Amino acid sequence: MSAILSPKKQILTLSKTLRNQKPRTKNDLKNYLKYFLDLEVCDSKMCEGHDSPMDYLWHSYNCDFDGSANGDCIVWGGRGGGKTYLAAVATLLDCVFKPGCKTRILAGSQVQAQRMYDYLLAFIHNGYKDLLIGKERKNKCKFVNGSNVEVLTQSMASVRGSHIHKLRCDEIELFKKQIFEAAKFTTKSNNGITAAMEALSTMHQPFGIMHDIVNKAQDNNMKIFKWCIWEVIENCGPDRNCSRCVLNNDCKGKAKRAKGYLKIEDVIAQMKRCSRAAFESEMLCLRPSLENVVFAEFDPEIHIQPIEYNPDLPLYRAMDFGFVNPFVCLWIQVDEHGTVRVIDEYIQSKKTIDVHANEIKFRKPYNENNVIMSFCDPAGAGVNDVTGTSPVSRLRAAGIKLRFRPSEINVGVELVRRALKNGEGKSSFAVNPRCGRLIEAMQSYHYPPTGSNELPQKDGVYDHPIDALRYFFVNYNTSTIMTSRKY
């Protein structure tokens, strides 16, 4: 004879049964979170090109059930946008509905990683504690279905020792680059669970890790989920007057349609206490902060132009030498108004000088006979102890005219700045969109984030195109070369 359960126990049993029932649709998942976690996840897109937080959660949860071969994604959200909290929700869902799922939490600081784990523990203690094996520890826990979660430290030993299904990297802008690179090799698909590396952060700097992976996301088949304060702000209601609100220029009525949780007064307070550039970067996700950027004057709207080769204008080249580091060549013209026009670039690593010489001499539509002069790095005249030659001598032997002069880095930097915007606020610089590496360098060339060094950082990535550009300005502005035009 079976025991008759009391109404309270019947409700509890039914609740557990429903709790363990896998959501099948995005709407199912949204209702599940609302019922079992008392969590209303924002599911509205307020800005063009943005996503909702619910879009991220559905991707993270469903990539193991929809046949996806790749669960990787980037979450680009503003400060206070709930990235860490939602990643903890995603971790709970993995542990409950994906038996044997191994998840690791890695963050830019141990405090940040612990915050995500603490959110997870709060969820567990509020209705999921019976799914744990034993008592949770301060940095890891195990589930009866074989799933487990652990917080990793920012060390090579910790990262390289892991082979898991899910890796959630929080505030990657604060990661050490070598740790982030090592972390890319930790995930592995098996037992029906799709490997996924999730990178979550605001974008603080145009030269940081977040900026780099966002730029490369399409090539790496990584989905970007982006939202700002307007996707998570609370509904402002009918009582607030838009015309009197300090947020109105940015909001434009979005908060009237919003369904989020971020308090309007908190956003207003943050806006008043920070700079406009910081607010746009940290809260609106419009662009990274230009703090520490060398060429803050560079404006893509002004300086990137569809300029092409004009055979009636003087033609120059500027070069920076390298082998492991890239060899850079820029094709440059100067028009009758004195505007420096960068019309093409050639950037290659691990090729010999002879290969570079052949490429730049016969690059179409440029004619070697029309090149007035090529300006280069003075260090290129140094003789190699093994070959007994120098890059300069090899290029000259190939029939390429070269000129160089020593100069301080900051002298060249100042000449470039003056071309970007002079004292009257006018520009005399333009670059063709095909020069993607130079454009990226113009936006990302930066000073060291700490210390008293007044020179830009030699990062091996952005400095080489800028060095080539500097050599042009330094030599052109002091050159006695005749710059005749054709008529």
H/E stretch holding 38 reads: none
Residue 483 — pLDDT band, cuts 50, 70, 90?
A: very low
**What pLDDT score was predicted for residue 475?**
93
Phi-psi category of residue 67: left, alpha or beta, with phi > 0 → left and psi -120 to 50 → alpha: left
3-state DSSP assignment of residue 334: strand
Share of the chain above pLDDT 70, in %: 93
**What pLDDT score was predicted for residue 389?**
80
Q: What is the pLDDT of residues 356-410, one digit of tens each?
A: 999 999 998 998 888 999 999 888 888 776 567 888 999 999 999 999 988 889 9
Strand partners, 190: 193
CA neighbor of 260 nearest in space, from 77, 444, 430, 482: 77
Domain boundaries along the sequence of the chain: 8-230, 300-476
Determine the Cα–Cα distance for residues 173 and 406; give it in Å rounded to an integer: 36
Tell me what the pLDDT averaged over the chain comes to.
88
Determine the Cα–Cα distance for residues 90 and 149; give it in Å rounded to an integer: 12
Q: What is the pLDDT of residues 189-225, one digit of tens each?
A: 999 999 999 999 988 777 778 888 888 887 777 899 9
Q: Are strands 166-170 and 315-320 parallel, antiparallel or unpaired?
A: unpaired
452 or 423, which is more confident? 423
Q: What is the pLDDT of residues 277-301, one digit of tens each?
A: 788 888 998 877 677 888 988 988 8
Q: Are strands 429-431 and 371-375 parallel, antiparallel or unpaired?
A: unpaired
Chain centroid to Cα 293, Å, comes to 15
Determine the Cα–Cα distance for residues 300 and 37; give it in Å rounded to an integer: 45
Share of the chain above pLDDT 90, in %: 60
Q: What are phi and psi of 79, to 5 degrees?
A: -65, 135
Which range scores top for mean pLDDT: 61-65, 365-369, 447-451?
A: 61-65
Residue 481 — pLDDT band, cuts 50, 70, 90?
A: very low
Q: What is the pLDDT of residues 125-156, one digit of tens each?
A: 999 999 999 899 999 999 999 999 999 988 88
Q: What is the pLDDT of residues 149-177, one digit of tens each?
A: 999 988 888 888 778 999 999 999 888 88
Q: Which of 249-263, 373-387, 453-467 has the lowest mean pLDDT?
A: 373-387
Please check whether residue 189 is in contact with residue 41, taking contact to mean a CB–CB distance below 8 angstroms: no
CA neighbor of 469 nearest in space, from 440, 432, 442: 442
Q: Which residues of 13-39 are buried (b: 16+ CB within 10 A; e: fewer)?
A: eeeeeeeeeebeebeebbebbeebbeb
The topology (CATH level 3) of 8-230 is Rossmann fold (3.40.50)
| DSSP codes joined into one string, 117-184 | HHHHHHHHHTTTGGGBSSPPPSSEEEBTTS-EEEEPPSSHHHHHT--BSEEEEESGGGS-HHHHHHHT
385 or 318, which is more confident? 318
Q: Over 60: is that where the pLDDT of 85 sits? A: yes
Q: What is the pLDDT of residues 334-359, one digit of tens each?
A: 999 999 999 999 999 999 999 999 99
93 or 6, which is more confident? 93
| DSSP codes joined into one string, 413-453 | HHHHHHHHS-TTS---EEE-TT-HHHHHHHHH-B--SSSS-
Q: Would you state the CATH architecture of domain 300-476?
A: 2-Layer Sandwich (3.30)
Q: In Å, what is the CA distance from 347 to each residue of 231, 319, 367, 456? A: 40, 10, 19, 21
Chain centroid to Cα 134, Å, comes to 40
3-state DSSP assignment of residue 333: strand
Q: Are strands 102-107 and 140-142 parallel, antiparallel or unpaired?
A: unpaired
Tokens coding 229 = 């304060």
Torsion of CA 140, 144, 147, 148, to 10 degrees: 10
Q: How many CB atoms lie within 10 A of CB 481?
A: 14
**What pLDDT score was predicted for residue 453?**
62
**What pLDDT score was predicted for residue 79?**
86
Our CA angle for 404, 460, 282, nearest 5°, is 120
Residue 14 — pLDDT band, cuts 50, 70, 90?
A: low
Determine the Cα–Cα distance for residues 8 and 215; give it in Å rounded to an integer: 54
**What pLDDT score was predicted for residue 1?**
34
The number of residues in the chain equals: 487
Chain centroid to Cα 196, Å, comes to 18
CA neighbor of 91 nearest in space, from 167, 32, 39, 27: 167
